[in-house]
Structure formats: C-alpha cells, structure tokens
C-alpha cells in the first residue's frame, strides 16, 4: 500500500524558540566541557602528585610486607635446615658407632689389642720401669759394699776358698755366642716381625 504524502508545510512559528534553546543548551554543554577540561588541567597535576604519593606509600607498605614474608620464610628454611642437619648428623653418629663397634669386634677376633688394652700395657710398662729403676738404684749401693769388701787385702786363709771358686767357675760350661753381621741381624729381625 502506498500512502499519500501531505504537502510539507513550513514549521510552526514556535520552532524558532526551540532551536534557540537547543543552541543555548549546546553552547552551555560545550562551555561546561571546556571548564571541566581547564579544571582537570589545573587540578590534574595536583591530583597526579597526590596519586604518586599514595602509590609510593602503598609501594613501601607492600615492600615491607614482602620483606617480612621473605624474612619469615628464610627463618623457617634456616630452622628446617638446622633440624635436618641435626637429624642427619645424629644418624651419621649412630652409623659411626655401629661401624666402630663392628670393626672393634673383628679386630678382637683377629687378636689385635684394643686401645684400652694398649693403655693398660703402657701403664704396666711404666710400673715395671719404675721397679727396675728402684732396683738399679739399690744395686750400686750393694756393689759399693761388695767393692769395699774386695779392697781388703786378701788373707792367706782365703786363698783356698778363692781357688775353689775359680775352679767352680771353670767347671760351669760357658755359652758362646757368635755375632752375626748386621745385614743378617736385620733380615732375621724383619722376618721375626712378620
């Protein structure tokens, strides 16, 4: 269907004030925008600086919180590492003790003296050394008395006794020792040590 168009008529006379009010409104909007832009420009730098200050404060807070977390985490890790190392050293100590005990048992079975046995022997040797020194100190006194007795001029009655003692000395067999050369002694000593 086709509609008929009415001939266009000029706009009513009150449209002029409407176009003027739209123009005025558009002008006011434009001016408001320019005012907002000028105000934003003027206060923009202040607002920007305020935002920078707030951002800096926020960054400091965040960094301190992060550093606190990092220090707390590193403290925990250090504590955990200390615990682990102490547990590991405890296990190594146990293993070391077990190893030492087994080695000591094996050496004992082979007849190797322990450190305790050697200390006992050293103490016994020291005691014997002291005893020998005491005896050797007493011997020169006794030999001094014997030499004093020997210095007396021999009596004629003692001559038969001396002769008997001389014959008794010759009656006992003497053991003759032969000296080996030094090279043979060393070889014999090293083979005996094995």
At residue 117, the pLDDT reads 87
List of E strands, the chain: none
Contacts of 107 (CB under 8 A, 6+ apart): 114
Whose structure tokens read 């103490």? 123
| Rounded Cα distance, 100 and 108, in Å | 12
Owner of token pair 């955990």: 80
pLDDT score for 138: 80
Contact (Cβ atoms closer than 8 angstroms) between residue 37 and residue 43: no
How much is the pLDDT for 172? 47
The number of C-alpha atoms within 13 Å of 134 and in the hemisphere containing its C-beta is: 6
How does pLDDT run across 43-86, given as a tens digit for each residue?
A: 777 877 888 888 899 889 989 999 999 999 999 999 988 888 88
- Note the pLDDT tens digit of each residue in 103-145: 888 888 888 888 888 999 999 999 999 999 999 888 766 666 6
| All residues at 6 or more sequence positions from 104 whose CB lies less than 8 Å from its CB, including other chains | 114
């Amino acid at each position: 269907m086709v509609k008929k168009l009415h001939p266009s008529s000029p706009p009513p006379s009150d449209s002029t004030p409407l176009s003027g009010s739209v123009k005025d409104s558009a002008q006011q909007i434009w001016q408001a925008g320019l005012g907002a832009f000028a105000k934003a420009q003027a206060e923009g730098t202040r607002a920007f600086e305020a935002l920078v200050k707030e951002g800096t404060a926020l960054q400091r807070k965040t960094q301190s919180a992060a550093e606190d977390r990092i220090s707390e985490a590193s403290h925990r890790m250090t504590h955990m590492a200390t615990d682990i190392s102490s547990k590991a050293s405890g296990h190594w100590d146990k293993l070391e003790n077990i190893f030492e005990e087994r080695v000591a048992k094996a050496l004992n079975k082979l007849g190797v003296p322990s450190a305790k046995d050697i200390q006992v022997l050293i103490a016994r040797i020291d005691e014997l050394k002291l005893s020998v020194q005491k005896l050797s100190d007493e011997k020169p006194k006794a030999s001094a008395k014997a030499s004093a007795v020997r210095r007396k001029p021999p009596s004629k009655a003692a001559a038969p006794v001396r002769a008997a003692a001389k014959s008794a000395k010759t009656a006992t067999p003497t053991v003759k020792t032969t000296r080996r050369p030094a090279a043979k002694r060393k070889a014999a000593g090293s083979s005996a040590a094995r």
